[in-house]
Amino acid sequence: MNLSQRITNITEGGSDGWEVFYKARRMIAKGVDVTELTIGEHDIRTDPVILTAMDQSARGGHTGYAMVPGTQEMRESVAARLTERTGVPTTYENILITPGGQSALFAAHTATCSPGDRALYIDPYYATYPGTIRGVGADPVPIQTHASNAFKPKPEEIAEEAAKGAASLLINTPNNPTGTVYGRDTLEGIAQVCKEHDLWLISDEVYDTQVWDGEHFSPRALPGMAERTLVVGSMSKSHAMTGSRIGWIAAPKEVITHLINLATHTTYGVPGFIQDAAVFALVQGDGLEEEVAAPFRRRRELAREILAEQNTVGLIPAQGAMYIMLDVRATGLSGEGFANSLLDTHHIATMPGESFGQSAQGHVRVAMTVADARFKTALQTLVGHAENLAGQAQT
């Protein structure tokens, strides 16, 4: 009996670079005190006021099947949020509620890519991107970026790949893993490529509330882009609701109609009491979102202060999201080699840049997800370890 290639090829290519993470978890399971700076999991939990709203909804009886596209109130709340923040008129008919952002990414590629299509994405990338594309039967094609340009994509390089034929382009700003925020000029260039080469644009905007420099701009708001853009959003990062698994896709009405059919045959919707809690969270306005974002803004400033005092570890401009990307090539090690050395020597776990593609070789991603004092100590230790290794490499 054979399994389908669509399922067996999801992790095509062997290692996904997450061995350091799994190694750290094994150490923790054995009782080792490890400072985890690996995944994007808040060090705070969902606000109790949101949980109270969830509890009241569940105890009030909203525990049966919810409407597959999402409740009317949730879809309208997301539409109102997007209209206010982007200026693009959006109604509930442009919204599908999904079980988290990852489900939305899969659905978006299912809608825009036929089996065998080339689907473009920016490298470095969130670790699931190529597997998600393979999962819908498409061919993932990375577009390399460069640390010297803060990992911002160059539209002309996207155009080179698009000219070979492609169905879609996936971007992510603010970016995980690099923390880079794409400016309007970059997005206008990307939009022009999409229009010239008839690409669907899938814009992953789950970090839109975590911008430290500049402002978030959605490419859906650019002229001629609303009709070819699918925006992925989520409550996970903005409201620390990672375990609630609730996200959305914003897209043209006709796309949403087909995506509702897909949801009917796959996820069958999101529990109503979770949607009610999300509506409660959204109608509170910016206050809850700013409270969730504040620790990362604070720790980003702390990281900039620490790294400004040395010349061994380079900081990619951390403009947004809950991560910083550090250049450790001066140590003579790869990102994976440095991450393993740091974990073995100091019990500090980071993610190798190689986990997120070839462009980030020689870097590590640090999640700013532990308390300030512990974060400061860990980062100072990381710098000291890098300086020791760099010194050894020069002798």
Q: Domain residues of the chain, as ranges?
A: 5-45+287-394, 64-284
Per-residue pLDDT at 5 = 85
- Which strand ranges, in their side-by-side order, compose the sheet holding 200-204? 95-98, 247-250, 229-234, 200-204, 168-172, 118-123, 139-144
With residue 228 as reference, give the H or E element that holds it. Answer: none
Alpha carbon distance 83, 164 (integer Å): 35
CATH T-level topology, domain 5-45+287-394: Aspartate Aminotransferase, domain 1 (3.90.1150)
* Nearest Cα residue to 322 out of 37, 34, 16, 48: 37
CB 325 within 8 A of CB 179: yes
Per-residue pLDDT at 394 = 80
Per-residue pLDDT at 111 = 98
Burial class of residue 341 in the structure, from the number of CB atoms within 10 Å of its CB (0-12 exposed, 13-18 middle, 19+ buried): middle
Per-residue pLDDT at 3 = 93
CB 37 within 8 A of CB 349: yes
Per-residue pLDDT at 13 = 58
E strand spans, the chain: 35-36, 95-98, 118-123, 139-144, 168-172, 200-204, 229-234, 247-250, 314-315, 323-327, 348-349, 351-352, 363-367
pTM comes to 0.96
Burial class of residue 333 in the structure, from the number of CB atoms within 10 Å of its CB (0-12 exposed, 13-18 middle, 19+ buried): buried
Q: Is 193 helix (H, G, I), strand (E, B) or coil?
A: helix
Per-residue pLDDT at 388 = 97
Pick out the chain residues at pLDDT < 70: 13-17
* Nearest Cα residue to 154 out of 119, 182, 196: 182
CATH T-level topology, domain 64-284: Aspartate Aminotransferase; domain 2 (3.40.640)
CB 208 within 8 A of CB 236: no
Q: How many CB atoms lie within 10 A of CB 15?
A: 10
| Amino acid at the residue 160 | E
Give me the DSSP letters along 242-256: GGG--EEEE--HHHH
What are the structure tokens assigned to 35, written together?
A: 């400072």
Per-residue pLDDT at 18 = 82
Per-residue pLDDT at 16 = 60
Torsion on CA atoms 373, 374, 378, 384, rounded to nearest 10: 40
Per-residue pLDDT at 17 = 67
Backbone φ and ψ for 344, nearest 5 degrees, come out as -65, -40
Per-residue pLDDT at 122 = 98
Per-residue pLDDT at 6 = 87
